[in-house]
Structure 1
Amino acid sequence: MVLNFTNVYSIPVLPKRRDNLNKFSTYIMLTNQNNQLVLQWKHQPSLQRNLKLYEEKHQEFSNLFSHDDKGIDIANFWRKVAFDESQSIADWEPSNKIQLAYEHLASYFEEKCYWAAKDLCKERNANSWEEYLCIARLLVYNPLKLKEILVKYNSQTANVDTYITNTLINHIKYSAEVNRFSRWRLLYKKSDKELIGALKVFGIIEPKISLIIFARKYFKQVYLINKVKNPTRTTGKKWIAPDEEDFSKSAQCYNVEKVLPTAPHEVSANSTKVTAKQIQDWMEICIKALESYPMSILPKFSLDALQLDGFEVKSELQVPEIEWEKISSTEDIREQGFLANQANSILSEQLQSMKLDDQKILLFYYGFGLNQKQLADKLGINQSTISRYLTKSTIKLLEAIAKISQPQQWVKQYVRRWLESDYHAPVYSDLIQAALVSAIKKLVKEEREILQLYYGEQIDEVKIASQLRITLNEIATRLNQAKNNLQEKLMQEINIWMKEYLEKWLSNYSKSLIKLVLKNEAELINKELKLEEKIFLVERYIQNQLY
């Protein structure tokens, strides 16, 4: 169900925070219940742990923390920590204690952001409340700006709560009057990584995340031309709200591009056309998610500036980078895949059972990094002989790996289960699922289309036949052909993985063995050997092992 955030509504009530632990470690989360905006407090585990650490290790803080009426005093405590120019850190304190101090203050000032925005709405349009709240939060979550404000604070004239609230009200008024803030600028400027992180915290999951990210790509293009770069716009109105035409054109671009092989799998898996209203709803969800999530509204330059000042920025709110449009193929994933730990012992046994010449050539080729010609010159053997030995030995080892993985026995069932259960939202950390997504993009248009209709939209064969104007037999033929091609392409990919795995295994094994042999030779102490001498020592070692 698409959430509708565009309705006029009253300002939601902010729940009270029970104790000091919550007052200094939670942030406001905007959620939707029954199409009504609701505010909740979201915990930040890293801040909770830091509070408990200081409660245990710092006597002054512990005394303050035990009294719920000492919120202002605790805020002043963190203000002193944040202003500690000596940068002194006790043995028990975290290395990023100043950054955490600013996060505690921002968490505490969340309530002041709410009340400042709400008070302003008494004399202004209540529909601007969300915008006002975001303006205020952008300020308190910017450590550099917050520092500038707190430096000017004079405890003799007002308490810190009153001072911050008045400062936020003035800042919101100024920002709103000169159009310095726009929710649409926030949406336009944030990276895919930041937006994905915010959407996840907001409760959006795949495949909807990929659909939203893809939609924003085309909304940004349309919005840039129609609004931001439009020569007819009023000066100072760069980030004005989009209109129905902007969303309509965005939907048109989305629907044209979604059928191309370059579109993310989650997008192409659903052939239903999106509407302008759907694009608008998705963009509103993005804005809500970004406004709710502190790490999304924190300007990047602030963190950069803090690091220049010696701050260490570490927060559990940081989101791992997600390349939504790419398939991961790192070596770490490959090593953790279906080629499990038993491959090492079986490959070692196979290598050690080979003839002396086969072992030597493999070890020298992979261990010393010599090419075939160099190796032929060193061993006094024809290059063609070297090539033949390498090919024969590699095939033997690949056959050993194939006996472990036995892909021919499980690929067919795996493809069937994946199509039925995970086609909509593949798990890209699973190398085999990522390979299947890549394989689908290489299928012909008719095969991709039949998979999208049958497994993506789960339309039955009779309706598909009617929609495509072909017979049921043709539907069955296309489905079988598409599945067979997926199986074949997956087998091809598995063969590539096995070769790559073997290449890396042989390199690591050979280099480790050579290092061990040379280390164990007593005459090598404080002596640099030539390559020929190293080859001789390794060859002698192999020969001794065989006899």
Structure 2
Amino acid sequence: MRSRQSIPEMFATFLQFEAERFNGWVYDAKLRRNMQNLLLKISHTNTSENFWAVYWHKVWQTQPNSLALGHLSAYLQETCYWAVNKTIPQFASIHSNLADCFQIAIAQVPKILKGCDPEQKASLKSYSHVAFANIIRDALRQQQEIDYANDWALLLKLSRKRLVEALQSAGLSDETIGRYLLAWKCFSDGYILSKSPNARKLQRPDDQTWEIIAQFYNRDRLTQLNPPAPESSPQSLEKWLILCAKYARAYLYPAISSLNAPKVGQAESELQDDLPDNSEHDSLLENLIAVEEAETQKNQQQEIHNLLTNTLVNLPARSQELLQLYYQQGLTQQQIAQTLEIQQYQVSRQLTKARESLLLAITKWSQQTVHISVTSNVVKHISAVLEEWLQHYFANVLNHASKE
């Protein structure tokens, strides 16, 4: 690997992989412009890499969403590469992808920056080298544990919360998730009851155990599923549980997407380009960048609007009717229940289910398009945005109808 020499290169270039090998350094245009502008303004006596590492770390501490994160991510590319390259051979039983492991580690830069003070004894590079090695070691241990477990052992080990998260991440409907969760519970109960005390390894249930599992499912489906699902055979239940294991593996050890990957439909733009620039410059170049960012944000907002509109029109007719009565006509749940001659709890449940379908659509879009990690805070923010969108959407529908 060719080491980077100049300061702009150290703080504005990213590793490029090809066939699992280092294939050179690629400049990020925005980071390069920012470094060049600052090098012209700051004294040339302060051009050591350690000076800039400390400088950008201080900026990041006060402005975590600024370009400082991009510069520090670029700076730590080599350190991350060598830490990963050294750690992977320790797990000879795992056929690890170097590029994927690199992305797992480099994604934790914010966490590393939070734990390091480069002005103390340990430099940012030496601290991050140890941190990157620990991160990828933990990830490979988790992968090893998942790979060694067969489908049935994995399903028995899973918590209900983790399985729900995996099924939701796969984009399954609430009704399907309900059936799969009941099948998983019946599998756990039936397997434990029928397991021989002398058995040392978790294997596929035998035919007699599958019959017990099917009996549990067909008994509980009437009381635990809403609406009750039809009866299922042992073969169908086995197929569902194999899918559950597949979704769980994909969720627990997902494929890695690079922040430097091209945007969908925009081959010359990268996800890294969306890092907001909070530095205060008045140059024409900076203004042009701001215009480009505003245009990108506008395009994303339009994508979200189109996504939610399409999802909304594909909801069941009753769900659309409830949303229209609630948001467009401003009726309370009690008033809706009286209008439709149903119970209020049914209105509440169906409204919640409709909102969850829309929330799931926009959450998946955020993961797949802008690669936002879904946390509880992110979900709360998306829920607030969705609520505002619903009010705005149905207000526009009402205004349009009144004009006609």
TM norm. shorter chain > 0.5: no
Q: Say which one has the larger Rg.
A: 1
TM-score for the superposition, normalised by structure 2? 0.39
